[in-house]
Chains A and B, each alone.
Chain A
Amino acid sequence: MVSGASGSERSRTSASQVPPASGRLDAGALVFVAALAALAVMVLLPLAWLFFTSLQAPESGRLGFGNYATAFTQWIYLSPIVNSLVLATSVATVAVLLGTPLAWLVSRTNLPGRGLLRVAIIAAFVTPPFLGAQAWMLLAAPHSGWLNRAFVALTHAPEGPFNIYSLAGAIFVMASYNIPYTFTFVAGALALMPSEMEDAAAILGSSALRRTLTIVLPLALPAIIAGFIMSFLEAISEFGAPAFILIPARTQVITTQLYLFFQYPPRVEVAAAYAMPLLFVTAALLYVQRRLIGRRRYTMIGTKGARRNLIGLGAWRWPLACAAFGVPFVTVALPYAALLATSLSRAWGRGPVPGNLTLYWYHWAIIDNPETKAAIFHSLTYAFAAATIAVLIAIVIGFAVQRGLVAGGQILSFICMAPYVVPGIILAIGFYAAFSRKPLLLYGTAWMLIVAFATRFLPIAYSSFTAAMQTLSADLEFAARTLGAGRLRSIRTITLPLLRSGILSAWLLVFIPALRELSCAIFLFTPGTAVMSTVIFDFSDAGNFEALSTMGILILAITFAIVFLMYRFLGRSLIEAEAQPA
C-alpha cells in the first residue's frame, strides 16, 4: 500500500526525479502502519461494536432490525431528532453569523483592541458548554436569574424577559461557545491569505467593502463552511448543555434521549440504533464540505509569506469595537462573573450579603476533598496524553493523505473524521462494548478515558493539521528530496517546523476540550478515574452550585494558565514568524 503510493504521487506531481531513498521510506512506512493500527483500534473497533450492538436483539442477542423499528417509529423518539436538527442548525447559523465578521474585524481591520478581542473570543472556546449553561441558569432562570431579577428591580415589571430553560436558551448558550470555531478557522484563513488580489482590485478602484465581499469572503468560504459544519456537529453531539437546560425545558434532543435509553431498564441496543442516522448525516455533511472545498482549493502559501493590509474602519472604529466586544462580554465575562460569585459564596441562595463571602469551596476542592483533588490531576494528565496521541496520529495520517502517499486517502480521512459524527455518549457505548472485555480491557483504567478523548477529538487534530498542511505547498519538501534528503528527514526538518504553529494549535484544540470532556467521560469513568467534568456533573444534579462553580472556575483557570504558558514558551517565535514581512 505504501510503496505503491509513490507512483500515484509521481503521477500527480512533476517530481518524478525524486530519488527513491527506499530505506527511509520503510521507516516512514513503519510509522504509518503503527498509526493505522491505532486508528483501527480507536475508531473502527468501537464503531464496529456499536453497529453490531444496534443489530442485536436485547434479550436473545439475535441479529435483526428490531431496534431500528423501535427507535424510528414512535413520535416520542422522533421528536428529539427534529429538535436536535433545529438546535444544531440554529447554533451553527448563529455561530457563523457572529464568528465570521468578528474574525474579519480582528484580522483585517484596524479595530481598536483587536488583540484583546481575539483572546476574549478564544476564551469562549475554553469554556465548557455545560459550565456556560450552568452560569446562564444562574443568570437567566425565569424567576431566580440575576438578570431577570435586576430587570424586575429596575422596571418593576412582573417578571424578567429571559428564560434559559427553552430551546432558544439552549441555542443561545451553545452558539456562544461555538463562535470560536468559525472565528478561528476564518481568522486563520484570512491571516494566510496573500493580499496581491486585493491589492490588484484596489488599484483597479474597488472599494474596501467590495474587495471584502468579492475576494476575501469567497476565499474564506471553505473556512466559513468548515466552521458551520464543525458547530453543527458539535451542537448535535453536545450532551452537557442540553442536559442542563433542555431537560428542565422538557425538550428532548438526540443526546438527552440517548441518555434516557441508558436509564433502567437500559436499552443500549436501541440507543445504538438510534445513533446510526447521525453517522450518515455527518458523512453527508463531510462529503458536502469536501466538494465545496475541493472546488475552491487554493494553495495560499507558496514559498512566499503573506503581507497584511489593514482596512481602516474610519468613523466606524469605535461603534464596531463596542459591538464586537459585546460578544465576549455576553459569552465570557457575564457567565464567568456569575460562576466566580457563586464559587465565593458560602450559600449562593443568600446572595451578596455580609458573611457570605468565602474561599471555603476552593479550600474544599483543592485541599480537603480527595475526590476533587484526584479529579483535577486526572483531567490534566488524561487531556495531555489524549492530545498527544491524537496529534501524532493526525500528523502521520494527515501527511500521508495530503501528500498522496497512500491509496485510499479519502477513506483514511473519513475514518479520522468519523468520531466527530458520533456523539460522545454513543462513542462511549462503542468504547464500553469494545474495551470492557479481554483482550483489550481498558475499562476501569486511565486508558479508557485517554483513548476515548483522543478518539473523540482526533477529528479536530486531523482537520486542524490538514488545514494547516493545505496551505503549505510541497515544493520545499520536493526540493529537499531532490537534494537527497529522505522522506522522514524532509518532513522533520522542513514540513513540521513550518507547521509548528499548526501542530501546536491542533494539540491545544484537543487538549482544551479533552480537559472538560463530559459526554464520553460520564459513562466511562469509574470512581478511580473521575475527572473534573464528571465531578461537576455529579454536583449539578445535587444542586451543589457552589462546589460546581468552584470546580468550573478551576477548570477555566488551569486551562488559561496552560494556554498562557504555551504561548509564553512557543508563542514568541510564532508571533515573530507571523509578523515577519516577506
Chain B
Amino acid sequence: MTRPSRTAFLALAGGAAAGLALPSVADARKGLTDADVSKLYEAAKKEGTVTWWTAHYAQSAADKVRDAFKAKYPGIEVQFIRQTAQVIFQRLNQDLKSGVHECDVFASTDESHYTTLKKQNVFAEFVPADIDKVPASLRHLDPDETYQIGALGFVLINYSTKVKPARDWQGLLDPKWKDQVTLGHPAFSGYVGNWVVAMNDKYGWDYFKKLAANNPKIGRSINDTVTDIVGGERQIGAGPDNYSLEKKAAGNPIDVAYPSDGSILITSPVAVLKAAPHPNAARLFMNFYYSKEYSQALLKVYNYPLRTDIAPANGIKLDKIKWYRNKVDRLATGIPEVVAKWRELFNV
C-alpha cells in the first residue's frame, strides 16, 4: 500500500486539515496501518486530551473504556460526559449553532442523529484500522465513512428475580403488572426511542394505550428501568441488556429475558467531528473502538463486544438472538413522531 508522505498529504489537504497525522481518505478506506496508528498516537500525545460525548453505555462502562484507552495510550487524558442520547445530541447542536468546538468524538445511541448531522457536514470521514473485525452487516454503516458502528446493545425485558417474567412484549400489557412496569423516556434515551418506534411499528400505537393502563413509571434513561427493578420499586420493564447484567453480576435481584417477539437491537454509531479540537486524539480514540482492548473492557461491564472474535459475556452470540432493528430512515421520522404521541398519552 502506498501512502503519500505527511508533507504531500498536507499539501493535498491544504490548510484545512493542518496538523492531522493521517493518510488521505482514499487510502484510509483500506484501513489504517500500524505505522499510521503510531503516528496518530504521537500527534495525539501533543494534543494531550480527547473529549468524548457518549450515550452508548452507563457511566461504569464508559469508565472502563477510558481506563483501557489510557492503559493502551498513556499520556492522553479522556474527558467524557455520559448523558442520554437526546441530551448530548442537543448539546452538540447547541455548540454547532454557536460555532463552539468542544466535542471530538460523538457517541449517540440514536442512529438518525448521524444521518441528520451528516447532512450538516459536521463529521470527518474516518475508517478505523480494524473496522472489518465487527459483524459483517454492521461494517461501514455509512457508505461515505463519516460514522461507524460504536456499540451494540438490546432493549429487552428486564425483570425482578422475585417474579416470573413476561415472555414477550405483549406480556407487559397483562393487568397483573399494574403499577409494576417501568420505562425510560423516548425524548431522552436513544434506546427507549428505538424501542418505542419498534413497538409502534409492530403493534401500533394501541400497544402504548394499553400499556398506559398498567400505569408505568417513566424515568429518563433506559437505565432508570434497571434502577427501579434493582430497588424493588417496579418488577418489570423494557430495559437494556448491558447495565442490567452488570447490576445482576453485582448481586442485585435483576435479570433479563429475550422476548420471543424479538429484542430490539440498538446499533449505536460513533463519529469524529470535522472541527474536533483534538483531531488526532479523536481519531486515535475512535480507532480504539475496534481494538480487542475496547471489546474486552466492555465485556467486563456486560456490554456486547464489537468484535466478532471476542465472545459475548453471556455466551449468546448475535446470530442466536431473535432481534429487530429499526431502519435509520424510520428512526429519523419515527422518534419525533412517537415522542409527541408519548407526551400526549403519558403527559410527560
Contact = CB atoms under 8 A, between A and B. Distances in A.
B345 to A, nearest CB: 10
Contacts of B80: 371, 527
B220 A247 contact: yes
A contact residues, range = 35 or more
Contacts of A142: 179, 233
A448 to B, nearest CB: 10
Given A527-B81, A543-B226, A543-B230, A266 B98 contact: no
Interface in B303-335: none
Given A543-B230, A544-B60, A432 B224 contact: no
A75 B224 CA distance: 28
Contacts of A436: 94, 98-100
Interface residues of B, number: 57
A443 B98 contact: yes
A526 B102 CA distance: 8
Interface string B84-113: 101101100110001110100000000000
A141 B179 CA distance: 12
Interface in B218-275: 218-221, 223-224, 226-228, 230-234, 243, 247, 250-254
Contacts of B223: 541-543
A346 B250 contact: yes
A541 B344 contact: no
B100 A444 contact: yes
B98 A541 contact: no
A347 B90 contact: no
Contact of A264 (B86, B218, B253, B346): B86
Contacts of B77: 370
Interface string A523-566: 10011101000000011011111010000000000000000000
Contacts of A348: 230-231
Contacts of B281: none
Contact of B220 (A441, A526, A541): A541
A187 B37 CA distance: 66
A538 B218 contact: no
A437 B99 CA distance: 8
Contacts of B218: 247-248, 250
Contacts of B280: none
Interface centre among A144, A347, A349, A538 (most CB of B within 10 A): A349
A144 B63 contact: no
A265 B234 CA distance: 31
Nearest to A437: B98
Contacts of B53: 527
A250 B336 CA distance: 19
Contacts of A141: 231, 233
Given A432-B98, A543-B230, A266 B250 contact: no
A144 B232 contact: yes
Contacts of B220: 247, 541
B121 interface: no
B283 interface: no
A530 B79 CA distance: 10
B83 interface: yes
A247 B219 contact: yes
A248 B52 CA distance: 29
Contacts of A437: 98-99
Nearest to A537: B83
A62 interface: no
A263 B253 CA distance: 33
Interface in A228-274: 247-248, 250-252, 260, 262-266
A104 interface: no
Given A247-B220, A266-B94, A527-B53, A542 B82 contact: yes
A252 B348 CA distance: 6
Contacts of B346: 250
Contact of B90 (A262, A346, A441, A444): A262
A70 interface: no
Nearest to A546: B250
Interface centre among A165, A247, A263, A347 (most CB of B within 10 A): A263
Given A264-B89, A347-B250, A444-B100, A530 B94 contact: no
A250 B344 CA distance: 11
B177 to A, nearest CB: 13
Interface string B57-92: 011100100000000000001011111101101100
Nearest to A349: B230
B347 interface: yes
Contacts of B185: 247
A369 interface: yes
Given A250-B346, A260-B187, A541-B83, A349 B98 contact: no
Interface string A455-472: 000000000000000000
A541 B251 contact: no
Contacts of B93: 264, 266
A143 B232 contact: yes
Nearest to B230: A349
A528 B79 contact: yes
A350 interface: yes
B343 interface: yes
Contact of A252 (B83, B87, B99, B347): B347
B188 interface: yes
B51 interface: yes
B151 to A, nearest CB: 15
A252 B247 CA distance: 30
A274 to B, nearest CB: 15
Contacts of B179: 142-143
B59 A544 contact: yes
B197 to A, nearest CB: 14
B183 to A, nearest CB: 10
B188 A541 contact: yes
Contacts of B89: 264
B253 A349 contact: yes
A443 B243 CA distance: 33
A347 B51 contact: no
Nearest to B346: A250
A250 B90 contact: no
Nearest to B224: A543
A266 B90 contact: yes
Contacts of B232: 143-144, 349
A436 B99 CA distance: 8
A322 interface: no
A539 B347 contact: no
Nearest to A436: B98
Nearest to A248: B217
A247 B224 CA distance: 12
A528 B52 CA distance: 11
A579 interface: no
Contacts of A530: 81
A577 interface: no
A564 B102 CA distance: 39
B84 to A, nearest CB: 6
Given A262-B90, A544-B60, 13 more contacts: A142-B179, A143-B232, A248-B217, A248-B219, A263-B90, A263-B187, A264-B93, A349-B254, A436-B94, A436-B100, A538-B83, A541-B83, A542-B58
7 contacts: A247-B185, A247-B219, A250-B218, A264-B89, A349-B232, A441-B100, A542-B221
Interface of B: 51-53, 58-60, 63, 77, 79-84, 86-87, 89-90, 93-94, 98-100, 102, 179, 185, 187-188, 217-221, 223-224, 226-228, 230-234, 243, 247, 250-254, 336, 339, 343-344, 346-348
Closest 5 CB pairs of A and B: A543-B227, A436-B98, A349-B230, A144-B233, A144-B232
